[in-house]
Amino acid sequence: MNKSVSINGVAVVTRDENLRVKFVQFLPDDEQAPVMEQGSRSSGQLQMLRNGAFDYVAYKPKVRANSTLLRKAAHGRISATRDEAYQLTLKVFKREGLNVKETLTREFFELIDNVKI
């Protein structure tokens, strides 16, 4: 559940020699002001607006890898995913000048023949 809290106070902004914001500290007027009960580990963007107000937008959490490598080939890999599936990835660049059909077929069989499932 998201809950907004309004707290009055002073924001102290420290800038570097290029006037980029390096550090922001907020000092509430009331030491008993309500605070967040749970911290946030997400990072985001903090902007100081022209009127002196601050705006913070949290970034979406980064998606972590959901697979475990089982076998690697020159142009791809086969992995086991967290949702109990197998994932095959093959990629051949045009600039390599290879016969794509032959390369993908050879590496496909190399991967599935040598993986321990």
Q: What is the per-residue pLDDT for 43?
A: 74
Q: Is 78 exposed, middle or buried (0-12, 13-18, 19+ CB in 10 A)?
A: buried
* CA 9 – CA 69 distance, rounded (Å): 51
Determine the residue type at 53: A
Q: Is the pLDDT of residue 107 over 70?
A: yes
The string of pLDDT tens digits covering residues 48-60 is 677 666 677 777 7
Rounded to the nearest integer, the mean pLDDT of the chain is: 81
Q: Identify which has the larger pLDDT, 1 or 50.
A: 50
The string of pLDDT tens digits covering residues 7-44 is 788 878 888 888 877 777 777 787 776 665 555 556 77
Q: What is the per-residue pLDDT for 13?
A: 80
Classify 84 in phi/psi space as left (phi over 0), alpha (psi -120 to 50) or beta.
Answer: left
**What pTM did the predictor assign?**
0.46
Q: What is the per-residue pLDDT for 1?
A: 57
Cβ neighbours of residue 55 closer than 8 Å, sequence gap 6 or more: 46, 47, 49
CB count within 10 Å of CB 79 equals 19
